[in-house]
């Protein structure tokens, strides 16, 4: 059972964001939506009646919760979600969806059109970085190959790692 659940505060577009994410990530679904009822005494609730109050959704087996809370809090890249992909094709597909309306950063980071920051990473990067038999030169070569990349290229990262043996 998952003990920590990421909770995302959206600013009036939680339902749109949930639908966007479940269409972007395979094996994903919305599992629950609680809507403003308009009669519970929450200030301003009447005009929000029927809109999402909170939602629960799963992306690739990870549960997320969200609140459609309004403009009190802004998104920040200080918190991001790292996702590893086994194939470049899977990585490319998700990357292309998230950058549509979003903003790219180096090292595989993208802030999507809702302001959520993701690290879209090939799984081989983590394996190479944690390889106890890797030399310092290999890890340096891996970092030097990764730093100028915007979208990460698994084959080029592995090539740099292997060339430094």
Delimiting residues of CATH 3.30.720.100 domain(s) in the chain: 1-73
For residue 72, pLDDT over 90 is answered with: no
What is the bridge-based pairing of β-strands 62-68 and 103-104? unpaired
Q: What is the overall mean pLDDT for the chain?
A: 93
User: Looking at residues 100-126, what average pLDDT do you find?
Assistant: 97
Reply yes or no on domain 1-73 having CATH 3.30.720.100: yes
Percent of the chain with pLDDT over 90: 82
Check whether 154 has a pLDDT greater than 90: yes
Q: Under a CB-based contact definition with an 8 Å cutoff, are residues 83 and 98 in contact?
A: no
Strand partners, 83: 120
Two structure tokens written together for 144: 């030097």
Which residues of the chain form CATH 3.10.180.10?
Answer: 75-165
**Stated pTM of the model:** 0.90
Angle made by CA atoms 156, 61, 94, in degrees to the nearest 5: 40
Within 10 A of 15 (CB to CB), how many other CB atoms are there?
Answer: 17
Angstrom distance (rounded) from CA 36 to CA 70: 13
CATH architecture designation of domain 75-165: Roll (3.10)
Residue 44 has pLDDT above 90, yes or no: no
Residue 142 pLDDT exceeds 80 = yes
Which pLDDT band, with edges at 50, 70 and 90, does 42 fall under? low
What is the three-class DSSP state of 111?
A: strand
Q: Which of the pair, 94 or 51, is modelled with greater confidence?
A: 94
List the beta strands (DSSP E) in the chain.
7-10, 29-35, 52-59, 62-68, 80-85, 103-104, 109-111, 117-122
């Amino acid at each position: 059972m998952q003990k920590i659940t990421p909770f995302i505060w959206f600013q009036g577009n939680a339902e749109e964001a949930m639908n966007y994410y479940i269409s972007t990530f395979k094996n994903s679904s919305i599992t629950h939506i609680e809507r403003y009822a308009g009669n519970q005494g929450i200030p301003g609730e009447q005009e929000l009646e029927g809109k999402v109050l909170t939602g629960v959704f799963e992306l690739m087996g990870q549960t997320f919760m969200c609140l459609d809370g309004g403009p009190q809090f802004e998104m920040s890249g200080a918190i991001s979600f790292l996702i590893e992909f086994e194939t470049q094709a899977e990585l490319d597909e998700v990357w292309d969806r998230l950058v549509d309306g979003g903003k790219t950063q180096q090292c595989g980071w993208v802030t999507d059109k809702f302001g959520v920051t993701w690290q879209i990473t090939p799984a081989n990067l983590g394996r190479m970085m944690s390889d106890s038999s890797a030399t310092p030169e290999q890890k340096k070569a891996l970092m030097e190959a990764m730093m100028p990349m915007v979208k990460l290229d698994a084959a080029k990262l592995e090539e740099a790692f292997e060339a430094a043996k």
